[in-house]
Amino acid sequence: MGITITGISQSNLWRVGILMILVTLGTQDKSFHRLLTCLEELIEGGFLKEKVVVQAGHTKFDSEYMEIFDLVPMDQFEELITEAEVLITHGGVGSIITALKKNKKVIAVARREEYKEHTNNHQLEIIEEFSKQGYLLPVLEIEDLKDAIMKIPGFQPKEFKSNTENMMAIIQNYIK
């Protein structure tokens, strides 16, 4: 079972002035229905009125409220992150750092071993660490997603500074 990479037409990208939430579930080969079900309930209940775009990976989920894609090409994914005001993501470091580099507000929801969403609970540790440092709002239990969304307007994440140059210098010095 492969993943379909879908291009997003310009008409599917946000129109100016409309708040967008981008949800990214990564490429893990296990489903993350728990997060999408919770979002669907928040939309159906009228709590979320913003447009929600989902990069779902292997998670198959039908929704009349959310725009869902398996995967999108990286350039369009970067554009979606740029357009989004909020990113709701799994606890993957790559997704979190990509959003932080673009100064986005991030809500991170861990894939959990007990729900067969991952092979272990390392995403809990990742989310807790980024949260302790002030970079994101954590959702350790799915019931807390609504509260995290309510905190977004007043949340000012710590500015992320990449350490790539320092790491490259260390590697280059090691090689020499």
Each residue's pLDDT tens digit, 98-117:
899 999 999 999 977 676 76
What CA–CA distance (Å, rounded) separates 61 from 36?
8
The residue with greater pLDDT, 29 or 24, is 24
For 51-66, the pLDDT digits (tens) are: 999 999 889 999 999 9
Which residue from 99, 90, 73, 111 is spatially nearest to 20, judged by alpha carbons? 99
For 143-161, the pLDDT digits (tens) are: 999 999 999 999 999 988 8
What CA–CA distance (Å, rounded) separates 36 from 56?
9
The residue with greater pLDDT, 117 or 32, is 32
Residues in CB range of 122: below 8 A, 6 or more apart: 91
Query: Which pTM was predicted?
Result: 0.82
Domains defined for the chain, CATH in brackets? 17-175 (3.40.50.2000)
- Give me the mean pLDDT over the 13-17 stretch: 37
Mean pLDDT for the chain overall:
82
